[in-house]
A and B are shown apart, each in its own frame.
Chain A
Amino acid sequence: MEEIVNALARALSFGTPLLIACLGAILNERAGVVNLGVEGMMALGALAGFAVAFGGGVGDGNLWLAVLAAMLAGGVAALLHGFVTITLQANQFVSGLALTMVGLGTAGLLGKRFEGQPLFNQPPEWPFTLGAVGLAVLLTFVFYATRLGLSLRSVGENPAAADLLGLNVSVVRYAAVVAGGALAGLAGAYLSLVYRPSWTDGMTAGLGWIAVALVIFVGWSPLRAVFGAIFFGLLYYLQFRLQGQAAIPSEVFASLPYLLVILVLALSGLRGQQGNAPEALGKPYRRGER
């Protein structure tokens, strides 16, 4: 029993940043914009959060401000992606990849002075975890039970129709992209403030990419994202918990998360979940074009 509780606790702890980042990506993808820059935005958020929490150098900055700064950093980075893909109508995939590289590089460069510094005012884990699950519920409600959600989804499914109905496609998409970026930033802050309270270059370690894959796995559903994140967290923890207990080489366990991403994508492909994708996902909207 204790074992199960322990494993679930680890799954939730590891799953929290995944869930937050995944919800952010679901939000912007529901509006029709793919953002592969999650990893980069997470890195920027992690740095901004740490920098503020570190405060004047004694590690006693305001944690609320730190979280806010992380969300702001992610949001601003996403705004850039929005400008390139919505206003300039450039390729969303290329812009997102660029954002990841720029984000990782910038965070690494600006973070030099924080490297090797410990953080003493660590926030507790549970508000983040609870908040993330609450957000999933809230998003589900907004998506399916409010006018706002309807607008958002119609912009992602059929922007031309939404436009005809008097919705400003650009504004909706901008809002969704920036909100998604802010959530990616928050996921980063969880890493640098809670999960491993410190700043190191490359500390996002591919979590942003797992979040991107998770979006497809859960079929763009916020509620299913909760279970997806816990599932991944559990497997991640179990790869170490089972190591040495089963006669399987550790290298196999090490490759598990990657194999899993592939397996998960293949499975969701088989289940036809790609069909769940918003109809206009990845396509820039040009007024008057069909």
Chain B
Amino acid sequence: MRKTWLLGIVATLVLGMGMAQQANLKACFIYVGPIGDVGWTYAHDEARRAAEKAIPGLSTQYVESVKPADTLATVDRLVSGGCNVIFTTSFDFMDPTLEAAKKYPNVIFAHASGFKRAPNMLTYMADFYQIYYLNGLMAGALTKSGKVGYVAAFPIPELKRHISAFALGVRAVNPRATVNVKWINAWFDPVKAREAAEALMAEGNDILAFTEDTATVIQTAARRKVPSFSHYNSMYKYAPDYVVSGQLVDWSVIYIDILKKVQNGTYTPNNLQNVDYWWLAKEKAVMLGAQVGMPINPKFEAALKQATLTVNGKRMSVYDRVMELYKDIQSQNPKWDPFTGPIRDRNGVLRVPAGRRMTVKELNEMQWVAPGVVGQVPDEPK
């Protein structure tokens, strides 16, 4: 009897070691929000699961709702638990991630949405600015009051870039329209998002868009029969009659690419200093849509086909323009970019000279906002 027990234990140990050897790649994720936020963290976690399925021998682990101050302690725990690749998925994890990279030179770190790197730390981002412009075109076509509302999380370059691209789109169709911004100063606070959306609608905004991590704006807008745009995930199911389109992300293409390159030895803890992913529609990291596979909600197709704008002296429907540009940015060599000069900021200062495009660095450090944006914008250069 006792021997059987021992045998069992030995067998388990051997099996365990065998499995540990096979699963030599352990990727761990540090999330800033709960995985159920239906936004940012949810999207990262979906991608984590997809990567686990796609890469044999990969095991993953995650820690959610981590405060930036606890990043290093979380890394300590994950490293001692055998993690050899660690993804930190919030801008405010940037400095602690760099510190962790110095502390653990043999572990590979990857930080989302930041700009600081090290030999064993790369950066990555799936960005929406092109998609936001397309949504802006649709918002400009659909607004009757000429006032488009925007619920925004924090006044950081990422949001200024998104709001500006959106406003450029709105004004391309409706040159006198405004994009009215309310900051909630939180990534995740459904209560604030709801009251901000209510305030925007009370001020006469008849279309809403947003950058924060919940589906609150969609739900609040739908209750008052106001169209809105999905952000991050497929939010179509929350209000099938009122979600026009939106910006969707697929982080898994980035995660799978990074992890495969770690697995086959392309990426080592010594050669990541200059590795920066800036993946867009071309790489299929982001998509246009009310939900995956539905670039534009059919309910709004007729209205968007009826609305027109002038492109290079030629009238065309907003619908066709959106589709044309979307096709272009998905191609291997996109010809179009929303931040192509000349672009002046809302104070009239020329920010992008004629014929030039903004660089990734400029987009990442953008502090000015485009004309048409109304509301206080902190840290705006004069």
Contacts and interface: CB of A to CB of B under 8 A. Distances in A.
B92 to A, nearest CB: 16
B269 to A, nearest CB: 34
Interface in B317-374: 374
Given A116-B42, A202-B65, A251-B185, A236 B195 contact: yes
Contacts of A237: 195, 198-199
Given A3-B202, A112-B36, A118-B237, A198 B181 contact: no
Interface in A213-251: 236-237, 239-241, 243-244, 249-251
Interface residues of A, number: 34
Interface in B176-212: 180-186, 188-192, 194-196, 198-200, 202-203
Contacts of B191: 14, 195-196, 205, 207, 236
A179 B141 CA distance: 53
B196 A240 contact: yes
A172 interface: no
Given A118-B238, A243-B183, A108 B199 contact: no
A201 interface: yes
B375 A115 contact: no
A283 interface: no
A108 B37 CA distance: 11
A197 B188 CA distance: 16
A197 B195 CA distance: 15
A116 B183 contact: no
A58 to B, nearest CB: 12
A111 interface: yes
A200 B195 contact: no
Interface in A171-209: 195-203, 205, 207
B245 interface: no
Interface residues of B, number: 40
B63 to A, nearest CB: 13
Contact of A250 (B180, B188, B219, B378): B378
B296 interface: no
Contact of B190 (A111, A200, A241, A244): A200
A244, A249, A251 pick with most chain B CB within 10 angstroms? A244
A244 B182 contact: yes
B42 A205 contact: no
Given A115-B36, A116-B233, A196-B194, A250 B216 contact: no
A262 to B, nearest CB: 18
Contacts of A199: 36
A243 B376 contact: yes
A6 interface: yes
A14 B180 CA distance: 23
A105 to B, nearest CB: 11
Contacts of B36: 111-112, 114-116, 199-201
A250 B180 CA distance: 14
- Select the residue from A10, A200, A202 with max chain B CB neighbours within 10 A: A200
Q: Name the residue among B34, B42, B155, B180 with the largest chain A CB count within 10 angstroms.
A: B34
B35 to A, nearest CB: 7
B194 A195 contact: yes
A254 interface: yes
B97 interface: no
Interface string B30-48: 0000111110001000000
Given A108-B34, A205-B191, A249 B378 contact: yes
Contacts of B35: 112, 115
Given A115-B38, A244-B375, A249-B376, A198 B215 contact: yes
A205 B375 contact: no
B214 interface: yes
Interface in A1-58: 3, 6-7, 10, 14
Given A243-B375, A249-B376, A10 B198 contact: yes
Interface of B: 34-38, 42, 65, 155, 180-186, 188-192, 194-196, 198-200, 202-203, 214-216, 219-220, 233, 237-238, 374-376, 378
Report the 3 A-B pairs with minimum CB-CB distance, sorted nearest first.
A115-B36, A201-B34, A240-B199
Given A198-B215, A201-B34, 20 more contacts: A6-B202, A10-B195, A111-B36, A115-B35, A116-B36, A118-B237, A118-B238, A196-B194, A198-B238, A199-B36, A200-B190, A201-B37, A202-B34, A202-B65, A205-B192, A240-B199, A241-B203, A254-B183, A254-B185, A254-B186
Interface of A: 3, 6-7, 10, 14, 108, 111-112, 114-116, 118, 195-203, 205, 207, 236-237, 239-241, 243-244, 249-251, 254
10 contacts: A196-B219, A200-B36, A201-B36, A202-B188, A205-B189, A237-B199, A240-B196, A241-B203, A244-B375, A254-B183
